[in-house]
Amino acid sequence: MNTVFNYAVTFASLCFVLAMIFALIRLFRGPAAQDRVLALDTLYINGMLTLLMLGIRSTSTVFFDMALLIALFGFASSIALAKFLLRGEVIEP
């Protein structure tokens, strides 16, 4: 692999990990529930992008499948949390 590409992937992975740390701080210290939901969205997106970077680096398709599952579950949880904050319940009777 090209050395410049290796450095770029390493730098991108470090940036994603740093963004995940900041999102975790906002998740625990967020003043409102909406801030915590946005931090959780940011956290799963950065986790998905970190897995994609690992997949690019290792040329394995397993990381891409895991990233797809994280995106799917993250989207469903975002919808459920938004509905809970809006109405107070997720499943209506």
The per-residue pLDDT for range 38-82, each reduced to its tens digit, is 999 999 999 999 999 889 888 888 999 999 999 999 999 988 888
For residue 66, what are the CA distances in angstroms to 7, 24, 32, 53, 73? 24, 21, 30, 12, 11
pLDDT at residue number 93: 67
Mean pLDDT computed over 22-42 = 91
Q: Report, as an integer, the average pLDDT of 23-36.
A: 90
Average pLDDT, stretch 27-36?
Answer: 89
Q: Which domains does the chain have, with CATH numbers?
A: 3-87 (1.10.287)
DSSP for the chain, written as a single string:
--HHHHHHHHHHHHHHHHHHHHHHHHHHH-SSHHHHHHHHHHHHHHHHHHHHHHHHHHT-SHHHHHHHHHHHHHHHHHHHHHHHHHHS-SS--
* pLDDT at residue 22 in the model: 95
